Amino acid sequence: MQFFGLFGLSTSASSMIGPNVIQAIIDKSGNNWDGFPFLFAVCIAASLVLWFAVDMQRGRRAAVRWAAEQRGTATTYSDRGDKASVAGSRKS
C-alpha cells in the first residue's frame, strides 16, 4: 500500500510543479516550443530510472503474491521465482 501513497504524492506534485516550470520556461524565452525539450528530458530521465533501477519481475511477483493473499488463495513464490509453498483456505 505504500506504493499507492507514493504514486498519489508524485502525481499530485507533478501536476502542480510541471505546469509551473513549463510556464516559467515559456515566460523567460517568449516561445511556446521551448518547454518541450524540458518535457522530453524529464520523460527520458524517468524512463532511465524505470529501466535500470526498478526490478520489474520482483515487483510483478510481489503484486501477484499480494493479490493471492487478499483472495485467501496464496501460492507463494520466492524472490527468485521458485514456487515455495501452497496455502489455501478461501476467505469469504
Q: pLDDT band for position 83 (50/70/90)?
A: low
| Average model confidence (pLDDT) across the chain | 80
Question: Regarding predicted confidence, which is higher, 84 or 55?
Answer: 55
In the predicted model, is pLDDT for residue 39 greater than 70? yes
Please report the pLDDT score of residue 86 as a whole number: 46
Are the beta carbons of 69 and 86 closer than 8 angstroms? Answer: no
Domain boundaries of the chain, sorted by first residue: 1-54, 56-87
Smallest Cα–Cα separation from 91: which of 72, 74, 78? 72
Alpha carbon separation from 91 to 2, 50, 63 (Å, rounded):
24, 35, 18
pLDDT single digits (tens) 41-80: 999 998 998 889 888 899 899 889 988 888 887 555 555 5
